């Protein structure tokens, strides 16, 4: 579906801006654009002032990183118009920056007429902004298609990584028998916190190898040893005891499925893994299913690769998911602790930087390309 969209629009090369191009998601976005032969005519990588002037190579051609305009970090009168001017001529703007920056940059880029896909949480719960996983709710893009047909821009929010991976795997089962409740425990990688967090984990392995005790490890990012440790996700904790990562799973699932009754109970945990997340998921279904039905639904599902070989103990692992587009799904089994046929358990692993961020954003842009007016 996204692939066909790409082919259908290879009419003229596009101007594509990648904002936050030096960050870990920005870099992955450039890889994904290249891997998928996204019809980039002009690439405009943008980043903070200190990276400006550096070069990036994209499909054999060098591009210079532009500084994000000053107006992006100011909130004074006219900054929106100045920012919009900076994005004049952009067809697609992919944002991999903080929520604070995204809140200013995304509307300006959309005002300039671009398809804007934002990786931050800034617009995810905004009713006017579609929150989209193409395999799950591509139809939610309809208002954007209409805007583009009128020659206007639009903003689409990329869901949180844990939500994307969970819903790619669970939606095929939801379509089969409606998920009433979902209990999720995550095993999240360093990459979700960015390049610095990944480097900190690697540096701790080097310190360990040198024989340094963990008092001597670099723990500046997470404030605690990460190597050989796991810890509760480092997002802000609400008064209800739920951290923001868990809340995103609850609220984004409801929004994407358009079902405010679905129960989601999540525990989000960081494990010392570099770039792919895993999740243990237990489902309560509205109607009874067989394991064969579940397996068939997953085998047929876009974006899913079923890896479920008990004989070889081959199941999803973050190592196997790293660098892959598909979400690996396995450990498929009926849950005997629930009424017969109504409980299903599974385990998944998916690349947090690809499907959990950059790939999903590029797929959204691909879905919208045919609607650009030319």
Residues with active-site annotation: 161, 277
Is residue 254 a contact point for a second copy (CB under 8 A)?
no
Nearest to 362 by CA among 14, 177, 92: 92
CA 7 vs CA 12, 21, 154, 351: distances in Å: 11, 25, 22, 25
Return the residue of 79, 80, 267, 296 that touches a second copy, per CB under 8 A: 267
Strand 55-58 relative to strand 61-64: parallel, antiparallel, unpaired? antiparallel
Is residue 181 a contact point for a second copy (CB under 8 A)?
yes
**56/43 Cα distance (integer angstroms):** 10
- DSSP label of 314: B
Single out the segment in contact with a second copy by CB under 8 A; choices: 51-59, 100-108, 116-124, 234-242: 234-242
Single out the segment in contact with a second copy by CB under 8 A; choices: 34-42, 69-77, 85-93, 236-244: 236-244
Structure tokens at 86: 């900076």
Over the range 253-280, which residues count as b (16 or more CB within 10 Å of their CB) and which as e?
bebbbeeeebebebbbebbbbbbbbbbe
Q: Is the CB of residue 366 less than 8 Å from the CB of residue 335?
A: no
- Phi and psi (nearest 5°) for 314? -105, 110
Q: Smallest gap, in angstroms, from Cβ of residue 29 to a second copy? A: 23
**160/306 Cα distance (integer angstroms):** 22
Is residue 345 a contact point for a second copy (CB under 8 A)?
yes
Q: Smallest gap, in angstroms, from Cβ of residue 219 to a second copy? A: 11
Q: Smallest gap, in angstroms, from Cβ of residue 124 to a second copy? A: 19
Single out the segment in contact with a second copy by CB under 8 A; choices: 10-18, 22-30, 75-83, 269-277: 269-277
Q: Smallest gap, in angstroms, from Cβ of residue 221 to a second copy? A: 13
Residue with Cβ nearer a second copy (107 or 343) = 343
Is residue 227 a contact point for a second copy (CB under 8 A)?
yes
The H-or-E segment that residue 259 falls in is none
Residues numbered 123 to 152 that lie near a second copy (CB under 8 A) are: none
Residue with Cβ nearer a second copy (195 or 334) = 334
Residues numbered 277 to 296 that lie near a second copy (CB under 8 A) are: 278, 280, 282, 291
Q: Smallest gap, in angstroms, from Cβ of residue 222 to a second copy? A: 9
- The distance of Cα 213 from the centroid of its chain, to the nearest Å, equals 35
CA 283 vs CA 256, 295, 316: distances in Å: 17, 14, 18
Return the residue of 107, 153, 343, 356 that touches a second copy, per CB under 8 A: 343
**136/302 Cα distance (integer angstroms):** 9
Is residue 99 a contact point for a second copy (CB under 8 A)?
no
Q: Smallest gap, in angstroms, from Cβ of residue 61 to a second copy? A: 30
Q: How many CB atoms lie within 10 A of CB 323?
A: 13
Single out the segment in contact with a second copy by CB under 8 A; choices: 48-56, 134-142, 314-322, 354-362: 314-322
Is residue 331 a contact point for a second copy (CB under 8 A)?
yes
Q: Is the CB of residue 74 less than 8 Å from the CB of residue 99?
A: no
Residue with Cβ nearer a second copy (101 or 349) = 349
Is residue 103 a contact point for a second copy (CB under 8 A)?
no
**60/110 Cα distance (integer angstroms):** 29
Return the residue of 60, 128, 210, 220 that touches a second copy, per CB under 8 A: 210
Tell whether the torsion through CA atoms of 14, 357, 153 and 2 is positive or negative: positive
Is residue 297 a contact point for a second copy (CB under 8 A)?
no
Return the residue of 123, 221, 257, 347 that touches a second copy, per CB under 8 A: 347
Structure tokens at 360: 């999903």
Q: What is the DSSP string of 169-205?
A: HHHHHHHHH-EEEEEEEEEB-GGGG-HHHHHHHHHHH
Is residue 178 a contact point for a second copy (CB under 8 A)?
no
Q: Smallest gap, in angstroms, from Cβ of residue 45 to a second copy? A: 29
Instruction: Please report, as ranges, the residues that interact with a second copy according to CB under 8 A.
Output: 181-183, 185, 187, 201-202, 205-206, 208-210, 214, 224-225, 227-232, 234, 237, 240-242, 250, 263-265, 267, 269, 271-274, 278, 280, 282, 291, 310, 313, 315, 317-319, 330-338, 343, 345, 347, 349
């Amino acid at each position: 579906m996204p692939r066909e969209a790409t082919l259908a629009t290879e009419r003229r090369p596009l101007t594509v801006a990648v904002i936050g191009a030096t960050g870990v998601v920005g870099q992955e976005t450039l890889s994904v654009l290249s891997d998928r032969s996204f019809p980039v005519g002009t690439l405009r990588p943008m980043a903070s002032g200190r990276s400006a002037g550096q070069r990036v190579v994209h499909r054999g051609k060098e591009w210079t990183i532009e500084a994000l305009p000053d107006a992006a970090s100011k909130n004074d009168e006219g900054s929106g118009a100045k920012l919009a001017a900076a994005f004049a001529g952009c067809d697609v703007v992919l944002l991999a920056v903080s929520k604070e920056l995204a809140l200013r940059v995304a509307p300006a880029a959309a005002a300039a007429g671009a398809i804007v896909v934002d990786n931050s949480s800034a617009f995810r719960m905004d009713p006017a902004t579609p929150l989209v996983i193409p395999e799950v709710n591509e139809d939610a893009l309809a208002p954007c298609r209409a805007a583009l047909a009128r020659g206007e821009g639009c903003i689409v929010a990329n869901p949180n990584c844990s939500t994307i991976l969970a819903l790619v795997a669970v939606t095929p089962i939801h379509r089969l028998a409606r998920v009433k409740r979902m209990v999720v425990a995550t095993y999240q990688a360093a990459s979700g916190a960015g390049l610095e967090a990944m480097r900190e984990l690697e540096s701790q392995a080097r310190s360990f190898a040198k024989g340094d005790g963990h008092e001597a490890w670099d723990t500046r990012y997470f404030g605690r040893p990460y190597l050989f440790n796991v810890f509760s996700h480092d997002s802000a904790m609400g008064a209800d005891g739920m951290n923001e990562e868990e809340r995103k799973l609850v609220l984004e699932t409801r929004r994407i499925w358009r079902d405010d009754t679905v129960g989601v109970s999540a525990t989000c945990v960081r494990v010392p893994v570099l770039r792919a997340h895993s999740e243990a998921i237990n489902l309560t279904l509205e109607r009874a299913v067989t394991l064969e039905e579940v397996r068939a639904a997953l085998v047929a599902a876009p974006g899913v690769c079923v890896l479920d070989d008990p004989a070889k103990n081959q199941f999803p692992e973050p190592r196997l998911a790293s660098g892959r587009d598909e979400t690996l799904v396995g450990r498929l089994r009926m849950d005997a602790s629930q009424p017969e046929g109504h409980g299903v358990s599974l385990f998944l692993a998916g690349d947090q930087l690809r499907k959990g961020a950059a790939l999903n954003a590029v797929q959204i842009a691909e879905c919208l390309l045919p609607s650009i007016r030319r």
